[in-house]
Structure 1
Amino acid sequence: MDVADVTNTQSTDGDRRTAWIGRTLSRLTTSRFRAKFVLSDKDRAYARAKGKETIDRHAHEMLAKRVGPAEPYKDGKQTPWHGHPVFTAQHATATCCRGCIEKWHHIPKGRALTDEEIDRLAALVMAWIERDLRNHPA
């Protein structure tokens, strides 16, 4: 496989992920509950101050710790409603507990999330945060 093949494979994977994110965000807006979430002014300021790289790292860490295990501690109650942009985004994107992840993203409960699944869900969380920031300019 040459460099062009690797680049094309990565591009195709990126294109698929981007399409999946777009479809999923669109589907989530059909839920009155999911669609009502917006970041607070404080969370928007925090996200802008910290930057995308830091918030993305937080998303990966929070998802891995809070919903990544096969049987998360206090599943269904482990994600606060506010206090960090990722928390709000988790509720908006149905990545807040294993029940929501199973229902909306078809990843079964009872087994640990893979690194790829955490990456995919973190990308969804980040896309939602970025969309909120675009919709509410500073």
Structure 2
Amino acid sequence: MGQDQNFDILWERLQRSAFRSTFRLNEKDLTYLHNKGMAVVLAHARDFIAARLAPALPAKDGKQTPWRGHPVFVAQHATATCCRGCLEKWHGIAKGQALSAAQQDYIVQVIALWLERRGGDSGGGRA
């Protein structure tokens, strides 16, 4: 099974979650995404992941990702890439060990997928 197929399966699972499927970018986040562009926003995602998720024992794990304030934060909650517990439950990435470069790249790809598929959909849901 290829990477695209894995992402499609993940996408379907996330969309079936009553909680994960409610997330939407608000108007401010959409404007930011469109003005900065995907490349800049994903560079921010890489920085956030490296600082907040990559350590083996992240500070304030489970509470390190704000609910709003940046499109990446919203995408992280929508894709269950917001904390090490969600990464373990949804993505099979074990807690207690530092994230590899490949794991960090995977997380950014998942966030990019959500931003591409849902970034233009601002109607309703959590903001």
Equivalent residues in 2 for 1:57-68, closer than 5 Å: 57-68=43-54
The 8 Å contact of residues 17 and 120 in structure 1, kept in 2 or not, is answered as no
CA distance in structure 2 between the aligned counterparts of 1:87 and 1:27, rounded to whole angstroms? 20
Q: Report the secondary structure of 1:116's partner residue.
A: helix
CA distance in structure 1 between the aligned counterparts of 2:27 and 2:5, rounded to whole angstroms? 29
Identity of aligned residues (%): 47
In structure 1, what residue type is equivalent to 2:20?
R
For the pair 1:46 / 2:65, whether they are aligned, the reply is no
In structure 2, what residue type is equivalent to 1:64?
A
Partner of 2:109: 123
User: How much does 1:110 deviate?
Assistant: 0.2
**What root-mean-square deviation, in Å, do the aligned CA atoms of Structure 1 and Structure 2 show?**
1.3
How many matched pairs? 122
CA distance in structure 2 between the aligned counterparts of 1:133 and 1:89, rounded to whole angstroms? 9
Structure 1 alignment gaps of length 5 or more: 1-14
TM-score (norm 2): 0.91
Greater relative contact order, per chain length (Cα 8 Å cut-off, separation 6+): 2
CA distance in structure 1 between the aligned counterparts of 2:119 and 2:83, rounded to whole angstroms? 24
CA distance in structure 1 between the aligned counterparts of 2:47 and 2:69, rounded to whole angstroms? 16
TM-score (norm 1): 0.84
For the pair 1:27 / 2:20, whether they are aligned, the reply is no
Partner of 1:5: none
CA distance in structure 2 between the aligned counterparts of 1:133 and 1:45, rounded to whole angstroms? 10
Structure 2 alignment gaps of length 5 or more: 123-127
Partner of 1:7: none
User: How much does 1:135 deviate?
Assistant: 3.3
Q: Which has the larger radius of gyration?
A: 1
Q: Which has the higher helix share?
A: 1
